[in-house]
Amino acid sequence: MKRRQFIATLGAGAAATTIAAPAIAQTAPELKWRLTSSFPKSLDTLWGGAETFCRAVAESTDNKFIIQPFAAGEIVPGLQAADAVSSGSVEMCQTASYYYFGKDPTFALACAFPFGLNTRMQNAWMYQHGGSKLLDEFYQKFKFVAFPAGNTTCQMGGWYRKEIKDVADLNGLKFRIAGIAGLVLQKLGAVPQQLAGGDIYPALEKGTIDAAEWVGPYDDEKLGFQKVAPYYYYPGWWEGGTAIHNFINIDKWNSLPKNYQAIVKSASDTANVSMTAKYDAENPAAIKRLLATGAQLRPYSQPIMEACFKAATEVYTEISATNADFKKIYENIAAFRADQYLWWQVAEYSYDTFMIRIRSRL
């Protein structure tokens, strides 16, 4: 190659490099977002999911995309997190979708509802059966997109000041519970109450309420319910698996570069797996400690479980009659649930049942 041609070629290459640099930089802009959580820092597993997510985003972008998490009440109250995202006051939130049941019962289907899916089934439905697509079609009405970002696994059935032996014992029971589960229990005579986490203990202590549900052993232990309501019932049939979500303002989401969108989704997946794993790891030791300090473990009787299932089915029929979004998503989940349990009874249930029975030999 002649010297002049070489220099010209070299110059063209340098020019191309100069032109390309800004394009590369544009795919990794420096951004700062705020995430408002529905949970306090004292609940390190739930709040920890927000920290895990934000850390993963920062590490994946060399700290060019920083999302700062704020606990419930630091920007807005926990139960107003989704409203802040819809209005654009914050870019995103970490929350439990069923907190917004009052806006539309369909919100509960993304999170937990009586006799719904367990944790693994929820992930299968959302990731592989089109569940997340169905939910996003609904969430668009509220100007956000959503990604699974945690799960509490199956919850406990709550703390009671007195034993609940049959269906009649539910009549007149003042129970801290809300959403669809509250409607179900209402059909059986209970009086649902909605209280923030910090208000539950004093209400139980004073007898303002007779019972309360929260999450499970690891979180419940921190709140000390066993001191004022010793009977600890299981299972939490209204929350067979409770999915936590990241809600992101749809305009902010659409403004992100594609690689940042992929990172946000991946970081949400990381939080989803991490939270579930921590609950599974921490709950066994926590329930041992609770029992050692006076908690009395009780199963719901079969008649109570069957009465609640019947009441739940009636509630879903009633809501579906007037809410097309709820009907569409619930029927999709119900069909998926039926097939899942067909398979579950063959492998998972059979294996787990054997291992539980032989546990004393392990």
**Tens of pLDDT, residues 308-347:** 999 999 999 999 999 999 999 999 999 999 999 999 999 9
pLDDT at 1 over 50: no
Domain hosting 79: range is 30-153+241-281
Task: Report the pLDDT value the prediction gives residue 14, as an integer from 0 to 100.
Answer: 45
Residue 131 inside a domain? The answer is yes
- What is the pLDDT averaged over residues 283-308? 97
Task: Report the pLDDT value the prediction gives residue 26, as an integer from 0 to 100.
Answer: 62
pLDDT interval class at 19 (50, 70, 90): very low
pLDDT at 362 over 50: yes
> What is 207-275 written as a DSSP string?
TS-SEE--S-HHHHHHHTGGGT--EEEE--TT-SS-EEEEEEEHHHHHHS-HHHHHHHHHHHHHHHHHH
Task: Report the pLDDT value the prediction gives residue 198, as an integer from 0 to 100.
Answer: 77
Q: Where residue 84 sits, what CATH number does that domain have?
A: 3.40.190.170
**47-94 pLDDT per residue, tens:** 999 999 999 999 999 999 999 999 999 999 999 999 999 999 999 999
Residue 45 inside a domain? The answer is yes
* Overall number of domains in the chain: 1
**Cα 218 from Cα 174, distance rounded (Å):** 24
Residue 176 inside a domain? The answer is no
Task: Report the pLDDT value the prediction gives residue 25, as an integer from 0 to 100.
Answer: 53
SS3 55: helix
Residue 325 inside a domain? The answer is no
Residue 133 inside a domain? The answer is yes
Mean pLDDT of the chain: 93
pLDDT at 3 over 50: no
